[in-house]
Structure 1
């Protein structure tokens, strides 16, 4: 492929877009040979789109713990910018066949269709069901699934068309960080919810009175502790660690395998935790509800990276390390009281059911083993 610094390739994204349409806007099949600058420009725009979606989604979660839903709220508009960019990118890949193969393109298309179906369904669900704040609702789940399938397509495409080297590894790591964020996102319900409950208990609720009244009316009660729990913490305590440790460990293992570099899992987890840690004071400064930050994810990533150093029985070593490091770090984080921050943060972790540890141990081992065995069978067949 020609180098992206070849003569005549502008630096400005707008100029590159104009150049792309002038040189490459023609019908082609997936897998059409693609200049390197087009590959990097396309996937750079994918990263930009997902950055908009992450920022919008993060703010949206906090927004919903303060005010009643608004279809045209600023977080929704920021998220929509990312969605529009994605729509344009999928159209470009589909029409030109550039910077993708058939498999990655189908995943991008399928994910976008899921998302575009889920978005209006979610609006209707809010109209019919009332508050529907929980991040674990069916329509929200379809939004996450659509975004996840899109991300899987982008990861597959980048693996297919990018040349080996540092840029390949950096972009792939960033894409896995977005994949982790999208999958972890519903756990934010508990991370924001526990601080929402504590704010109400001390008589200074983050939520506006109209939101609390609406949430209480939704279950036919006056505004009391039970109504606030129904609004802020409607999810069983076993969900948080099972999802946050078990499922995230499997995603981090997939990231470590595809990137193929030491400490990839720790880097991906660290990137996400760093983003959450940076957004926390920004939300606080803007007078928006804050959340606990999942620092324990760093230890889940570390456990995965250490497991990849094992010469044999990696799935068993990984399951033991993930369970020990993940649950140990979560428990330790829950014991710490960030008193220096006063009322801004009175809990450092959501309520968690630690009896789920054996389930994570067995589940991670079984899925990791099955995935590795399937991959080995594919290599032998190929």
Structure 2
């Protein structure tokens, strides 16, 4: 099994063991640091946390982890996008330490876990927020810190498990493999822990301020009666608004990582998943932002996310020479949420979430479709809208309700009775589960074939290039408005092709199509015809490079 896995690109066992040992050493160091800090044998960690707290106007056990989190999550995200682009443009790697992008991911995930651990370790003379978890008689940990550490550990475990998965079941080519979902899910959902941690810090500071004012004998706890203090308070409010809005921008990115296949134009699943994923991510992040941060926060969040995504795409694409990715803009959804936020609905958080969620899954999605049609490789055909809305409307509703419940829980104004809370969560699980199940339903035609005729074109990057005419039998297999009839070529590298070429074929008649650009059929390229029309999905190889690692012979491209 070891020999087979290595030939197929699985990890060398020494790499897996090395990563496990490194994780163990780091864990022991954190345990040592915790003991030294809590027994007051070191003071530098507390001084560092206090310094960060002064700059960010938050308790040290919030501020220092937040500073670390920003750098670590950006590092991991850059590594993730670079890693995906490398796999798309060049194929598989030889293990977790054989790919330069993996080092960014590993460092990011290690420090993600450390970030959560610091939030747990730092509180020493206080109970960090009303929801703090008791660890020992005198040690309480903030809930947000526990969630960040748990998310980081969950993602880290997915790294060695990914290569073990390949050893057991072979190579896969989708982002949605189970261990991949552990990696991106843990990192993406850590943003929820950050929001909780920041909230716990604000509550703790407010409680401390009130207690201090009462002790000083100030009337009604007024701590901003002095004009200078009032100006300072306004400045802090502005800083807080930007920090919290940016955190929700990070949440937009974190919840969007499941769409990355669609961003590169190499989706392995039906196109109807894309509007569903957009609606779920946009509804939760933007509705929660508007409810928790205030006016303009949803728009700022999408702007922040767009800047980070575009900078990352430019570095990975033009600078490093790998395939370029686009991204969901969410601007139309943010506009819809902000407009609804001007109404009286904003005072009733859960109801606002429900109405805004439906609006995001309808009007917001329609506005987003203009961006999709302009920049994505696969625009949305009109034939897809009925099925898309059948999933995005209920998904927007339940995710909006959940966002409203989330905001209500962190508002301090009380939460609905248990039956209501459970109903919202159960409804979200059932609706999203049903929508995913619908997206996974495909039909592969049994008695269909495709005849592909190739014509040589000028060589590019030294590779043989061809154009194609395609005849599909039966001629009525594909409707007039399919999701795609395309040729995808990937994993071939190249100085100008960058390892990815997608050609949406032009329809010339019933079952007849022709190329709009040349595609490579040489080297290590894998080039094939792809069809998706409703639930029908089919494909046929045009050229497939031989692969000794998996025992696959070359499928030559014949004219």
- TM-score of the two chains, using structure 1 as the length reference: 0.70
For 2:273 and 2:120, locate their aligned partners in 1 and report how far apart those are by CA, in whole Å.
38
Query: Residue in 1 aligned with 2:369?
Result: 331
Tell me the matched-pair count. 308
- The answer on 1:301 being equivalent to 2:329 is no
Q: Return closer, same or farther for 1:89/1:285 CA change in 2, 3 Å cut-off.
A: closer
Query: Residue in 2 aligned with 1:274?
Result: 307
For 2:396 and 2:90, locate their aligned partners in 1 and report how far apart those are by CA, in whole Å.
38
Query: Residue in 2 aligned with 1:184?
Result: 256
Q: Secondary structure at the match of 2:269?
A: coil
For 1:292 and 1:42, locate their aligned partners in 2 and report how far apart those are by CA, in whole Å.
30
- The answer on 1:130 being equivalent to 2:174 is no
Query: Residue in 2 aligned with 1:229?
Result: none
* Match runs of 1:23-34 below 5 Å: 25-27=37-39
Task: Note the C-alpha offset of 1:168.
Answer: 2.7
Query: Residue in 2 aligned with 1:364?
Result: 396
Q: Return closer, same or farther for 1:134/1:299 CA change in 2, 3 Å cut-off.
A: same
- The answer on 1:159 being equivalent to 2:195 is no
Query: Residue in 1 aligned with 2:187?
Result: 147
- Is the contact between residue 357 and residue 399 of structure 2 (CA under 8 Å) also seen in structure 1? no
* Per-residue Cα deviation, 1:19-76 (whole angstroms, up to 9, x for no partner): xx8xx92259xxx9x7434343331111111111111112112111112233221211
Task: Note the C-alpha offset of 1:149.
Answer: 4.2
Query: Residue in 1 aligned with 2:81?
Result: 58
- Is the contact between residue 299 and residue 331 of structure 2 (CA under 8 Å) also seen in structure 1? yes
Q: Which has the higher contact order (CA 8 A, sep 6+)?
A: 1
Task: Note the C-alpha offset of 1:359.
Answer: 2.5
Task: Note the C-alpha offset of 1:241.
Answer: 0.7
- TM-score of the two chains, using structure 2 as the length reference: 0.50
Q: Which runs of 5+ in 2 are unaligned?
A: 1-32, 41-45, 55-59, 134-142, 206-235, 346-350, 418-559
Task: Note the C-alpha offset of 1:320.
Answer: 4.5
For 1:188 and 1:380, locate their aligned partners in 2 and report how far apart those are by CA, in whole Å.
36
Task: Note the C-alpha offset of 1:349.
Answer: 4.7
Query: Residue in 2 aligned with 1:341?
Result: none
Task: Select 1:318's aligned residue among 351, 356, 374.
Answer: 356
Query: Residue in 1 aligned with 2:67?
Result: 44
Task: Note the C-alpha offset of 1:380.
Answer: 6.8
Q: Return closer, same or farther for 1:74/1:128 CA change in 2, 3 Å cut-off.
A: same
Query: Residue in 1 aligned with 2:159?
Result: 119
Task: Note the C-alpha offset of 1:351.
Answer: 5.1
- Is the contact between residue 323 and residue 361 of structure 1 (CA under 8 Å) also seen in structure 2? yes
**Greater shift after overlay, 94-103 or 323-332?**
94-103
Task: Note the C-alpha offset of 1:316.
Answer: 5.1
- Is the contact between residue 291 and residue 404 of structure 2 (CA under 8 Å) also seen in structure 1? no
Query: Residue in 2 aligned with 1:16?
Result: none
Q: Return closer, same or farther for 1:69/1:188 CA change in 2, 3 Å cut-off.
A: same
Task: Select 2:113's aligned residue among 81, 87, 98.
Answer: 87
- Is the contact between residue 333 and residue 348 of structure 1 (CA under 8 Å) also seen in structure 2? no
Query: Residue in 2 aligned with 1:74?
Result: 100
Q: Return closer, same or farther for 1:372/1:90 CA change in 2, 3 Å cut-off.
A: closer
Task: Note the C-alpha offset of 1:363.
Answer: 2.7
- The answer on 1:244 being equivalent to 2:278 is yes
Task: Note the C-alpha offset of 1:159.
Answer: 1.3
Q: Secondary structure at the match of 2:38?
A: coil
- Is the contact between residue 27 and residue 97 of structure 1 (CA under 8 Å) also seen in structure 2? no
